[in-house]
Amino acid sequence: MRTISSPEQHGHNPPSEFIDGQLKPYLETPRRVEIIEAALAVAEMPAPEAPRDFGLAPILAVHSAEYVAYLEHAYARWLEAGLPAAGVMPSTVAVRGMRAGSSHPQAQAGLFCFDLSAPIVAGTYLAARGSANAALGGAALLLAGERAAYALCRPPGHHAAHDLAGGYCFLNNAAIAAHLLATANEEASDNGVALELGDEPLGGGLWSMRPPTVAVLDIDFHHGNGTQAIFYDRSDVFFVSLHGDPDREYPFFLGFADERGAGAGEGYNLNLPLEKGVDDARYLAVLENALEAITAYSPRYLVVSAGFDTFGGDPLGDFQLTTGAFAHIGARIAQLGLPTLFVQEGGYAIEALGQNVVSLLMGFEEG
């Protein structure tokens, strides 16, 4: 399996975040990438390739132009206003009836951010662009006929919504890749280029008239609120997530079982919130329900938001998965028989993170 990662991603390295009301050293560190790369090397998997720059268009298909411009300029404006170099973080947030009129850097932070775990520093914007490019590079490999790819994305993406950062996420890498895959035909005909789509069971020219569909399977411990929100009213992307019940866990305000999609997207969102202490057997049993729903949807592509904070030793999760469970998860995902893009999300048990990633990817390859 080819792997992709952008060297720009290292430039995002904020000193701290608020966790449970306390200022703590930032958990989502550049070291995570080093650990994963080292484990890939030990497992004799291909070293990550740098992606090409896909430009802003695939990002603006998912995020607002105002938000992306904010991410680009926020840190410089923050410094110009004499605010601390540690990073852009809101102190006052725009909730419910409040107005969005002020362009002050503090007001902008409170408008485009939903928590205190996504500080913007000097390298954040380029790192987020590099991370999105890695996911897009992986999607491009699937479009070129690869069976699977792993995008080692950092910062992660699944909490980032149309115009909101949070939970270490700025650009929603999985959503950007999923949208590209779901609109690949359109893009191809826009460019007047015939895209090789590989075997098509329906045969004939039928396929080229039907846009492909994509399932996003989110296995991070936390609900992928951003991905869900981005695709909530769409039927061409089916979002399925297993996660700690938001009744007790971050992100608290989305991820409940009764969120099933809206409008044209009704029925195309599936949340499987889980209790504390979930072990391998319990997780794998619920995963079967997710995979069954994906099989019934019969997508053309699969994007996996691959978080590893379900691991027993993770400081942010309360599940008890072992390293071995990730191999079973990978193998079961492989049995769907779909072109599959793995997109790195969370995972903070740093000493086990590399092994857990390898376990998932090797499980897939051997499945």
Interaction partner, residue 117 (Zn ion, ligand SP5, none; CB < 5-8 Å by kind) = ligand SP5
DSSP character at residue 291: H
DSSP character at residue 305: E
Per annotation, catalytic residue among 158, 159, 222, 243: 159
The answer, yes or no, to whether the previous bond of 211 is cis (omega within 30 of 0) is: no
Identify which of residues 231 and 250 has a Cβ nearer to ligand SP5 in the complex. 250
Task: Name the packing angle between helices 350-366 and 31-42 (round to 10°).
Answer: 40
Size of the site for Zn ion (CB under 5 A): 6
Question: Quick one: which segment of 47-55, 122-130, 161-169, 285-293 binds ligand SP5 (CB under 6 A)?
Answer: 161-169
Single out the residue of 251, 346, 354, 363 in contact with Zn ion (rule: CB under 5 A).
346
Pairing verdict, β 301-306 and 237-244: unpaired
Q: Which of residues 287-316 bind ligand SP5 (CB under 6 A)?
A: 307, 309, 316
Stretch 290-319: interaction string toward Zn ion, x if CB under 5 A:
-----------------x-x----------
Stretch 311-340: interaction string toward ligand SP5, x if CB under 6 A:
-----x-x----------------------
Q: Is 63 annotated as catalytic?
A: no
Using CB under 6 A as the binding rule, whether residue 236 contacts ligand SP5 is answered as: no
φ, ψ dihedrals at 17, nearest 5°: -150, 165
Spatial distance between the Cα atoms of 332 and 359, rounded to a whole number of angstroms? 13
Kindly report the number of other CB atoms within 10 A of residue 89's CB atom. Answer: 22
Sequential DSSP letters for 328-367: HHHHHHHTT---EEEEE-----HHHHHHHHHHHHHHHHH-
Minimal CB distance residue for Zn ion:
346
Interaction partner, residue 318 (ligand SP5, Zn ion, none; CB < 5-8 Å by kind) = ligand SP5
Residue 115: CB minimum distance to ligand SP5, A: 7
Identify which of residues 17 and 309 has a Cβ nearer to Zn ion in the complex. 309
Closest by CA position to 345, among listed 114, 154, 130: 154
Size of the site for ligand SP5 (CB under 6 A): 17
Single out the residue of 170, 238, 250, 364 in contact with ligand SP5 (rule: CB under 6 A).
250
Question: Quick one: which segment of 57-65, 94-102, 235-243, 340-348 binds Zn ion (CB under 5 A)?
Answer: 340-348
Closest by CA position to 306, among listed 364, 237, 236, 247: 364
**Residue 154: both structure tokens together:** 């950092």
Closest by CA position to 324, among listed 356, 286, 284, 278: 356
Stretch 222-251: interaction string toward Zn ion, x if CB under 5 A:
x-----------------------------
Question: Quick one: which segment of 15-23, 47-55, 80-88, 216-224 binds Zn ion (CB under 5 A)?
Answer: 216-224
Residue 222: CB minimum distance to Zn ion, A: 4
Using CB under 6 A as the binding rule, whether residue 183 contacts ligand SP5 is answered as: no
Q: Which residues of 110-123 are buried (b: 16+ CB within 10 A; e: fewer)?
A: bbbbbbbbbbbbeb
Contact 361, 322 (CB under 8 A): no
Kindly report the number of other CB atoms within 10 A of residue 47's CB atom. Answer: 10
Sequential DSSP letters for 156-183: --TT-BTTBBBTTBSS-HHHHHHHHHHT
Minimal CB distance residue for ligand SP5:
346
Residue 292: CB minimum distance to ligand SP5, A: 26
Task: List contacts with ligand SP5 (CB under 6 A).
Answer: 19-20, 117, 156, 159, 167-169, 220, 222, 250, 307, 309, 316, 318, 345-346
Task: List contacts with Zn ion (CB under 5 A).
Answer: 220-222, 307, 309, 346
